Amino acid sequence: MTQVIILDRDGTINVDRPDYVKELSELVIIPGAGEAIARLCRVGYSVLVCTNQSCVGKGLITSERLAEINNELERRLAAVGARIARFYVCPHVDSDLCTCRKPLPGLAETARRDWGFDPAITWAIGDATRDARMARGAGCKPALVLTGKGETSRLEIPEVPAFKDLGAFVDMVVAQPGIG
């Protein structure tokens, strides 16, 4: 069975912007996030990204531009030995009533079908309440990082494990092999 870690993108891997990452120049990786992903890869995890990108549905960027931004993120992560196995993207806005928009579990469920992982032993990490709700809805183990919206989210869902950043989460995973 494949070992998988699911990550949110904005606020977890790269700096979350209130006006969205619309240009390559606006893409800023959170310090240490790339190295944390590289460590996950080195110990055998496939890292998947499940991300809402309503900037596409709002017409702020095209799907092609989003692909360019994700490709650039992959390029920068590869420079430190990190690899994103696959991006799962919801381009919709809330009014579209899709099943892939977090907090609904559609993205994680699609990833499970594609990768065959056991959600009961799979962590899904993000900075927002909706990330934790997606994880729970898909049967995964939720965790928060306190980057991005994490500090506010921790107040809303204090029962979800919270970590200073992605590196601190990876420290826990690497120190306790077999926890998922």
Query: Which of the following is catalytic: 8, 16, 127, 131?
Result: 8
Catalytic site residue 171?
no
Query: What pLDDT shows up at residue 1?
Result: 59
List the structure tokens of 170.
């990876």
Query: What pLDDT shows up at residue 178?
Result: 58
Quote the radius of gyration of the chain (alpha carbons, Å): 15
List the structure tokens of 11.
């606020």
Q: Tell me: the pLDDT tens digits for 4-51?
A: 999 999 999 999 999 999 999 999 999 999 999 999 999 999 999 999
Query: Which of the following is catalytic: 10, 16, 131, 165?
Result: 10
Catalytic site residue 8?
yes
pLDDT tier at 177, thresholds 50, 70, 90? low
Q: Tell me: the pLDDT tens digits for 81-130?
A: 999 999 999 999 999 999 999 999 999 999 999 999 999 999 999 999 99
